[in-house]
């Protein structure tokens, strides 16, 4: 064995076993979520005291279980997952047998047999084993809201065939790819064009999923792969603002918020005790564009509606855009109708030129 062979063997071993680990995590997460949905539906149908809980079942279950990642929203998603994909039970049954997981007081095998017969009578589709192996639970959250079985099957096939990322699947659904394919005289040409441009899924995409964080008991910032430059800038910027002593109180880094059915992460969230408002800071390692401003404005509107207290002023957004050639600082003041407050916050917050100098100096050092 020569040196190049040694390097090749190590690299191949790393890639193969990492992929195997990712596949195992993905499969177990999907099975767990499906099973929880099954438990809930089974209780609703067969539970001895189901009437006592009624419509409050999900909320009470989330409160009583008190397990990270099993809040009411996710429990509803798991229930919907089971209802939308009952055929997955065939693969789940085999996994339970291999893992020797007992199901107390539930005749799971009999239920799976009935589901198997029902699945055989249904139109052919993607095999349950392939669904679990090729799609993450986050993929499924994009698919099971699709009421038309044929439309859902279309996206299952295309997603698996193209190895799409979740973002790509969502983009294609939103772009009406199914409808456009049905209307196209040459759908194969459309398919080839989309395949050339599609964003594919990588192992780290599954690991960085919010559902995976919660399943493994991790905090997102423990595993999010930020660039060293961006992380260093945020660290120093946080210290810079806190040391200024103008009332900044650090509330969170990589603050997770839920808007609709999507999670977003805000780089840094402060609360300013003098201005009595939240300050949201976003750093983008690229030139300024309207998407950056739009994203921050969305976060501000969310905080204004969902987080702001009665005696708070509207939230303030600071957008920093940095690259090797320039540093651009923008204040976002959406919803600030009180001009006196605008003048006040301009005095209390760092001067734009001061922030620009800070970014430029950090870039030179890093």
- Residue-wise pLDDT for 191-214, tens only, equals 888 888 887 877 666 666 777 767
Identify whether the C-beta of residue 180 lies closer than 8 Å to the C-beta of residue 194.
no
Q: Is the pLDDT of residue 75 over 70?
A: yes
Q: Which residue has the tokens 């006196």?
A: 340
- Residue-wise pLDDT for 239-286, tens only, equals 877 776 678 888 888 888 888 877 888 999 999 888 888 989 888 877
Domains and CATH numbers, the chain: 3-207 (no CATH), 226-365 (3.40.1350.10)
Sorting pLDDT into bands at 50, 70 and 90, what band is 159? Answer: very high
Question: Please, what sign has the CA dihedral across residues 233, 235, 241, 243?
Answer: negative
> What per-residue confidence (pLDDT) applies to 49?
80
Identify whether the C-beta of residue 190 lies closer than 8 Å to the C-beta of residue 181.
yes
Sorting pLDDT into bands at 50, 70 and 90, what band is 160? Answer: very high
> What per-residue confidence (pLDDT) applies to 226?
47
């Amino acid at each position: 064995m020569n040196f190049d062979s040694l390097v090749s063997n190590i690299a191949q071993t790393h890639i193969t076993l990492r992929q195997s680990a990712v596949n195992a995590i993905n499969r177990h997460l999907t099975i767990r979520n499906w099973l929880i949905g099954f438990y809930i539906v089974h209780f609703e149908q067969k539970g001895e005291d189901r009437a006592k809980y009624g419509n409050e079942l999900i909320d009470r279950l989330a409160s009583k279980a008190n397990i990270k990642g099993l809040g009411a929203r996710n429990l509803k998603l798991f229930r919907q997952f089971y209802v939308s994909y009952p055929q997955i039970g065939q693969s789940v049954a085999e996994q339970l047998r291999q893992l020797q997981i007992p199901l107390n007081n539930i005749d799971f095998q009999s239920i799976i047999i009935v589901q198997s017969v029902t699945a055989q009578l249904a139109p052919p589709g993607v095999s349950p084993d392939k669904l679990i192996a090729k799609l993450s639970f986050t993929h499924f959250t994009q698919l099971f809201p699709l009421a038309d079985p044929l439309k859902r099957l279309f996206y299952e096939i295309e997603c698996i065939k193209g190895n799409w990322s979740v973002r790509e699947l969502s983009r294609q659904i939103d772009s009406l790819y199914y409808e456009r394919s049905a209307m196209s005289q040459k759908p194969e040409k459309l398919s080839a064009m989309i395949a050339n441009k599609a964003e594919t899924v990588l192992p780290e995409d599954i690991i960085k999923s919010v559902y995976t964080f919660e399943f493994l008991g991790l905090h997102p910032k423990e595993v999010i792969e930020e660039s060293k430059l961006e992380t260093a800038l945020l660290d120093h910027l946080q210290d810079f603002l806190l040391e200024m002593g103008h009332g900044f109180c650090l509330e969170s880094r990589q603050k997770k918020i839920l808007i609709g059915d999507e999670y977003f992460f805000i780089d840094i969230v402060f609360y300013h005790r003098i201005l009595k408002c939240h300050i949201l800071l976003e750093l983008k390692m690229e030139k300024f564009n309207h998407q950056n401003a739009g994203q921050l404005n969305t976060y501000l509107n969310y905080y204004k509606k969902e987080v702001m207290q009665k005696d708070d002023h509207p939230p303030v957004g600071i957008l920093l855009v940095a690259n090797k050639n320039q540093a651009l600082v923008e204040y976002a003041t959406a919803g600030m109708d009180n001009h006196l407050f605008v003048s006040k916050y301009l005095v209390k917050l760092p001067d734009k030129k001061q922030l620009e100098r800070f970014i430029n100096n950090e870039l030179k050092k890093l």
